[in-house]
Each structure stands twice: as structure tokens, then as C-alpha cells.
Amino acid sequence: MGDLTGRTALVTGAGRGIGRAIALRLAADGARVGVHYGTSADAAAQTVAAIEAGGGQAFGFGAELGVPGDTAALWAAYDRHADGVDILVNNAGVLGGRTPYELLDAASYDHVFAVNTRAPFFLIQQGLSRLRDGGRIVNVSTRFTHGARNPDLLAYTMSKAALDALTATLAKQLGGRGITVNAVGPGATDTDMNAARLGTEQGRAEIAALSPLGRVATPDDIAAVVAFLASPDARWVTGQWIDASGGSLL
């Protein structure tokens, strides 16, 4: 507790899953957390309530990503609650379904890139004047960009690979301000996104077997890695993609 006292964090897609776990963890470490949601105000309110119940500080605000004017609307909503940001976590993302490459249509492809790639790009760009020196940017990527190929998730993987490229490039550009930029690559995690596969005994066993640790990741596992990158202890780590898949790429 206390490493992030006095700092303000913004976590996109923080109403559920990994985003909620990240928001809860950053708040537990002392940050005041902006809990962003796209369409589910109730879920974000539950995250805020959980933070406040634990003695932390948080505020919820909404802005749909992947539509025209999305990031400007997000910052406008955020600015009503805070006058700057120290930690920006680009967590919001869409899988876009598990669709064979041959059947993927242009509208689905465009939506995946609009949410997973374009939104973080312009959220950071438009947030630079708000991001304080010595700040942290953490982008939630995926293990699929580093050797774990799935042709039915090709658009998703491509969108996150672009996010990895953004991470490394911005780390060089923003280093002069003491701002670190890193990406975290989870594997299959016990969230709504993977509910169908994890809902069967066979599916859960298959996913658990991917990791030498022999279990399925929880959102808290990923949040702990993000919390480290957001902390003062990670001051000398930047431009990196951190494997948060439980060693599934070994």
C-alpha cells in the first residue's frame, strides 16, 4: 500500500475483467482511479463502489471507443473529474469473435482496429498535455503477438501487434520526460471474454496446461504485473513487452 499515493490513474475498460482488477489494484496501492467504461455504466459503478469500500478513491466516466470522436469525448469526460493524469492504462479491447481468416468481413476488421489500435494511439496523443512528467503508460497487449498464433484471431493479433510497436516507439519519444511506456501480454484469463471455453472442464484443463504453472490466469495475476509497471520500482523499465501468460510461450 502507498506506492502510488498522490497519483491519479486512468484505466480504460475498467468495468469488468482485467480492467476492473487493474483499477482495484492501483487504488489499493494508493492511486485515485478514473474508471472508464464504454457501454456498461452499472459495471463501472460496481468497480468504483468496490474501490471506495476498500478505502480507496475512484470516479467513473463513460465514452464509447471505436466511434468517431471517441478519445476526445473520453478526455472531456475525464477532465470533469481530474486536472491531470500520472498513470494511463490502455486496457479496453475487443476480440472481434473467433472468425476464420477467410470469413472475416471488413466491418469486423475495422472495428477491432478502431478499438484496439486507433483508440489507444489517439488517447495517448491527446493525453500528452495531461500526462505529468515521470508518468506511466501501460498498454494491455496479448501473448498472441509473440509466437502463439491463432488464425481465427488474426485481426485481433494484428491490432495488438500495432499496439506493441506504438509502445516501443513512444518509449523513446517520451523518455526525456521520465515517462515509461510498456506493454503487458496476457494469455487466456478467467474473464467474460473466455467464458465459453473456460465454462467446460475440458476447455479449462486445456488452457491450464498451456502454462508450466498448471492453472488458468486470474485478472488479479495480470493486474499485479500492471501495478509493478505503474510503480516507482519500474522506473528503469521502458519500451518492453512483458509476458504475463504464465510462461505459456516457453
CA distance 178 to 234: 12
For the entire predicted model, the pTM comes to 0.95
CA distance 9 to 46: 17
- Regions of the chain where pLDDT drops below 70: 1-2
Classify residue 85 by burial, with Cβ atoms within 10 Å: 0-12, 13-18, 19+. buried
Fold assignment, 8-244: Rossmann fold (3.40.50)
What residues are paired with 11 via a beta bridge?
A: 35, 89
CA distance 235 to 30: 17
CA distance 40 to 62: 8
**pLDDT, tens digit, 9 for 90 and up, residues 52-100:** 999 999 999 999 999 999 999 999 999 999 999 999 999 999 998 889 9
Query: Comparing C-alpha atoms, which of 38, 29, 34 is closest to residue 47?
Result: 34
Size (the chain), residues: 250
Domain residue ranges of the chain, discontinuous segments joined by +: 8-244
pLDDT value at position 147? 85
pLDDT value at position 194? 76
Of all helices (H) and strands (E), which one includes residue 139? Answer: strand 131-140
pLDDT value at position 234? 97
